[in-house]
Structure 1
Amino acid sequence: MEVKKTCNIYCDESTHIENDGQPYMILAYVSTPYHLLKMHNKNIRKMKMEHFYRGEMKWSSISKSQYPFYNKLIDYFFSNDSLNFRAIVIDKSQLNHKYYKQSHDDFYDKMYYQLLNKKIFHDINYNIYLDVKDTYSYKKAKNLKLYLERDYQNIRNLQIIRSHESELMQLTDVLMGAINYKLRGLNRVTAKNNIIAKIENFCGKPLTEKTSKSENKFNLFFIDLKNGN
């Protein structure tokens, strides 16, 4: 009997709180085959040492002095076929929880399902990790697991971890941060602008445009709540 392959998925979110004054809610993940996880962690940690980088990788940390490291990190992501990224973007001006008789937490769970279910395949097992944000994070993980298990029997593990425990979750933060920065029209930090330009060059299109549904490397989808898409 053939043993199923296993994939690890590292999820994060940005400006996801309903009334935080930010226009977009973004959910995203970086995924990799389980058997290559140690290799990626080792390689990224080696890059950190070479550039004397300490602490977590975060979009908010990108500056002129840290640019060489983040520049190399983006090269590393796009040069490895075993690393994939997906993000969904929600325009919060379209939120209408009262009409749909739901709380923002309910909506959050549904959007996480939308993030994941399009790229889950029945012939692969999955370990899914979410970044802990608050005391509600554990309930969110439990709810998401229930949502996914309605349609999939191959979710081997779904749990909360802290971002400092995972290089790939930190990578999710960086790529997702680039999208949010571009969507909000921010351009004050040259190093960040250069990282965005580099990502867009690899993708062949701006971060303000969706990719095709079949795109695996860098998949970006804008959910239109008004049209139910």
Structure 2
Amino acid sequence: MFVDVYIDESSQTQCRYLMLGGVVIRTDAAPEAAAKLIESRSPELAHGEMKWGKVSRSKMAAYTRLVDCFFDDPSFVSAQFHSLVVDTSKVNHRAYNDGSSEVGFNKEIYQLASKFARLYGSAYFYVYLDQRNTNQTPEDLRLILNRGRRKAGDRRDWPYRRCQFRNSKTTPLLWVSDIFAGAIAFHLNGHRTKQDASPARSELSDYILYRSGVRNPKIDTAKAGKFTIWHRQLR
């Protein structure tokens, strides 16, 4: 079985909690699912990228349909969303990451990507990351991931077959990763309870947690499922 993994982040800077989110879906189902997302944004958002940072009252219906697509549309029956939370106040880049926040960030991507291999024991992965500026290439990450699986005793021959950057503007499944991660971070970083909180983002984040069945995003969910949250304990 081949599956696609679409990973994006939220609140990477100036917030206590860093969020990484990844949508996993069977490779053969991904094109239809992406088409459904494009269809769901009309008429309020006929063109352009859907992002957590662009949520507004006038486009709420489109964002709500995107959420409903993930949970209800048959093209998403194989899709799951898994997230990783890092408390950046406990990160020591000097001691563990060669003094580099970039190295630390890449380690968290490695942790989330590795979770998919543990959950899908017979799958092979095409990993797509939101395009960003970094001195480490996706191919470097692919090699490290495969070596990590070999060290863990994984018998699959190079389970991570592809690791590439993708432009989120033209990759609809990255929209889901970004929006779901943003919704969780909105609660964890305290934005939801601020007096000047965006009404549209408040409503959308509440709706996403309602549809996912998550009552308290500060607590880990089950490791597997349609929608999961993992607060990584740093050593």
Superimposed CA distance per residue, residues 95-124 of structure 1 (whole angstroms, 9 cap, x where no aligned partner): 112233633233222211210112213421
1:203 aligns with 2:208: no
* Residue identity in the other structure for 1:164: K
Q: Kindly report structure 1 stretches of 4+ aligned residues shifted beyond 6 Å.
A: none
Who is 2:228 aligned against?
219
**Cα separation, 1, equivalents of 2:173 and 2:83:** 14
SS at match of 2:77: coil
Give the structure-1-normalised TM-score. 0.87
C-alpha distance 202-96 of structure 1, shift in aligned 2 (>3 A): same
* Residue identity in the other structure for 1:173: D
**Cα separation, 2, equivalents of 1:114 and 1:167:** 23
CA drift at 1:12: 0.9
C-alpha distance 101-42 of structure 1, shift in aligned 2 (>3 A): closer
1:157 aligns with 2:167: no
Superimposed CA distance per residue, residues 28-52 of structure 1 (whole angstroms, 9 cap, x where no aligned partner): 1111101111111111111223434
1:145 aligns with 2:142: yes
Among 86, 89, 103, which residue is 1:90 paired with? 86
CA RMSD of aligned residues (A): 1.7
| Unpaired runs of at least 5, structure 2 | 151-157
Q: Is the 8 A contact 1:179 1:208 kept in 2?
A: no
Superimposed CA distance per residue, residues 176-208 of structure 1 (whole angstroms, 9 cap, x where no aligned partner): 110111112213111211112212222322323
Q: Is the 8 A contact 2:41 2:62 kept in 1?
A: yes
**Cα separation, 1, equivalents of 2:225 and 2:144:** 23
* Residue identity in the other structure for 1:211: T
Q: Is the 8 A contact 2:42 2:62 kept in 1?
A: no
| Unpaired runs of at least 5, structure 1 | none
Give the structure-2-normalised TM-score. 0.85
SS at match of 1:65: helix
Who is 1:63 aligned against?
56
1:124 aligns with 2:123: yes
CA drift at 1:82: 1.8
* Residue identity in the other structure for 2:25: T
Aligned residues: 216
1:12 aligns with 2:8: yes
Among 25, 39, 52, which residue is 1:32 paired with? 25
CA drift at 1:140: 4.2
Who is 1:48 aligned against?
41
C-alpha distance 67-101 of structure 1, shift in aligned 2 (>3 A): closer
**Cα separation, 2, equivalents of 1:81 and 1:196:** 22
1:176 aligns with 2:181: yes
Identical-pair percentage: 27
Who is 2:106 aligned against?
109
**Cα separation, 2, equivalents of 1:206 and 1:70:** 22
**Cα separation, 2, equivalents of 1:207 and 1:100:** 27
